[in-house]
Structure 1
Amino acid sequence: MGVLIDVIDYDGAVTKVFDAARERRPFILTALAVHGVMTGVSDRRHNARLNAFDVVVPDGQPVRWALNLLHETHLRDWVSGPELTTRVLQHAARESLPVYLYGSTPQLVDRLVARLARTLPTLRIAGVEPSRFRDAEPGEIARIAERISDSGARLVLVGLGCPRQESFVHAMRPLLSMPLLAVGAAFDYHAGRLRPAPRWMQRHGLAWLWRFAREPRRLWRRYLVLSPRYLLRLTTQKLRLWEPVVPVPSHRPVDPAPV
């Protein structure tokens, strides 16, 4: 649909993240489900931003199905943001690489840090910074990057929600020589605020129904408006009734980044 998604599994994604961390080079990754894909479809500027990511993993069965249907990729599994976060944190703990957590509210990140201290006691957290829920002021992104760099972190996890987190990490890429991962609701899951859908619902592409039943007021547009549009675009592309235009990847920030 014009949004470039990598044909990749968990092991491949983790390998790319830690290759960049060890080599201390810029690297940005996001996990896109249907909602994330549709933000790119509906906004060409954001689409160009997404296509500039080093890795975009297919988050959820519907995205995996689309890759297999349109491109015969034979991808056997999707790459869930929360599960990828778990594997990345476990790997960071084993390699003793310090992690920086950026995003969400002060209360939720405090809960997240407390839980991680219990479940991954060897994990080194270099710093924690909650979101301000607004656009960055002039020079603010550079100051955030400086704080992250000064903390000694080698890896940053960002939980701002889609599409804010993609805009943030895209703006940070030129400023930090380390991986930044936009992990969506992973902070909420690992802090215990959200529970993942049962595995059988995930396998059958029904994780959206689980989320919608718990937060209908917040998520109704995402699932009742964007999901049908996704299916329509997917069908017309498969039938060759519509061909997407793929925006040229842009590494240059063009909008105020959210913080």
Structure 2
Amino acid sequence: MELQSEEVTLAHRYIIGMRVDATNYEDATNRIVTWARRKVGKRICAANVHMAMETYDNPEFAEVVNRADLVTPDGMPLVWGLRALGIQDATRVCGPNLTLTVCEAAARHQLPIALYGGTPESLIDFTNVLVDRFPGIEIACQISPPFRELTPAEDAAYTAQIVASGAQILFVGIGCPRQEIWMAAHQDRIPAVMLGVGAAFNFHSGRVKHAPLWMQKIGLEWLFRLLMEPRRLWKRYFKQNPRFIFLFFRQLIRSPRIDN
């Protein structure tokens, strides 16, 4: 039976100009499975404070995210933002966890998947995790692109490889904002549902530690990641987090609460 959840319009709010949909894991997975069965190009963004600030600072990137087919609240600050703006039952839908729920559904519905991003070693490790956890899952294609801008020939070759594989769900893990821009540029060229999942490959292969659940629930996942990778992340968090707090509270003060 084909799932019909995407026929139901999701409540959403704009948080400092970025659209965030009030979805949950079951709803998001059902939508993805339905779209994948139809073999249509769709884009899913897992939004956090970093993405919100990227959209605030770059109107072109804001258009990329706001025109995605689904924007999930990946970070707890966005969940709190949705609740403050009137969606009291808003819940978190983070990229790494959504990756697993979608992979489980893909195995159950026999939908081939593809992986784009990471290193060759991390893809091998992640593939082993998926095969062990979800017997019968079909991983039709694995690509570890170089950590630089691709040449047009390279991009065309990778795109052709993904299309030829027959993958109906494509996980893209090349980091924000690069992965969201890549998905938008390829939506009309790849007939698959594309999910931007950031560091999910590294999380689930054990190469990067995930924050304890209690830290995730109280919105301190950023602090855990900062402690794990201080040299790479300190500028991002100390620059963006205070700005986000200021901008969102300014939005709350200036805008009336919406209760529907």
How does the TM-score come out when normalised to structure 1? 0.89
Work out the CA distance in 2 between the residues paired with 1:76 and 1:2: 18
How many aligned positions are there?
240
Query: SS where residue 142 of structure 2 aligns?
Result: strand
Q: 1:98 aligns with which of 93, 107, 112?
A: 112
Work out the CA distance in 2 between the residues paired with 1:151 and 1:54: 23
Work out the CA distance in 2 between the residues paired with 1:199 and 1:88: 20
Contact 2:51 2:177 in 1 (8 A): yes
Deviates more, 1:73-82 or 1:163-172: 73-82
Shift of 1:182: 0.5
Give the aligned partner of residue 223 of structure 1.
237
One-letter code aligned to 1:207: E
Work out the CA distance in 2 between the residues paired with 1:151 and 1:218: 35
Q: 2:31 aligns with which of 5, 13, 16?
A: 16
Give the aligned partner of residue 171 of structure 1.
185
Contact 2:54 2:177 in 1 (8 A): yes
Query: SS where residue 156 of structure 1 aligns?
Result: strand
- Structure 2 gaps of 5+ residues are 1-15, 256-260
- Structure 1 gaps of 5+ residues are 242-259
* 2:211 paired with 1:206: no
Q: 2:53 aligns with which of 38, 46, 56?
A: 38
* Larger relative contact order (CA 8 Å, sep ≥ 6): 1
Contact 1:197 1:207 in 2 (8 A): yes
One-letter code aligned to 1:35: H
Work out the CA distance in 2 between the residues paired with 1:237 and 1:29: 25
One-letter code aligned to 1:119: R
Give the aligned partner of residue 253 of structure 1.
none
Work out the CA distance in 1 between the residues paired with 2:216 and 2:133: 24
Shift of 1:139: 4.8
Matched residues, percent identical? 37
* 2:126 paired with 1:112: yes
RMSD: 1.3
Shift of 1:104: 0.9
Q: 2:251 aligns with which of 233, 237, 240?
A: 237
How does the TM-score come out when normalised to structure 2? 0.89
Work out the CA distance in 2 between the residues paired with 1:211 and 1:85: 19
Shift of 1:208: 0.8
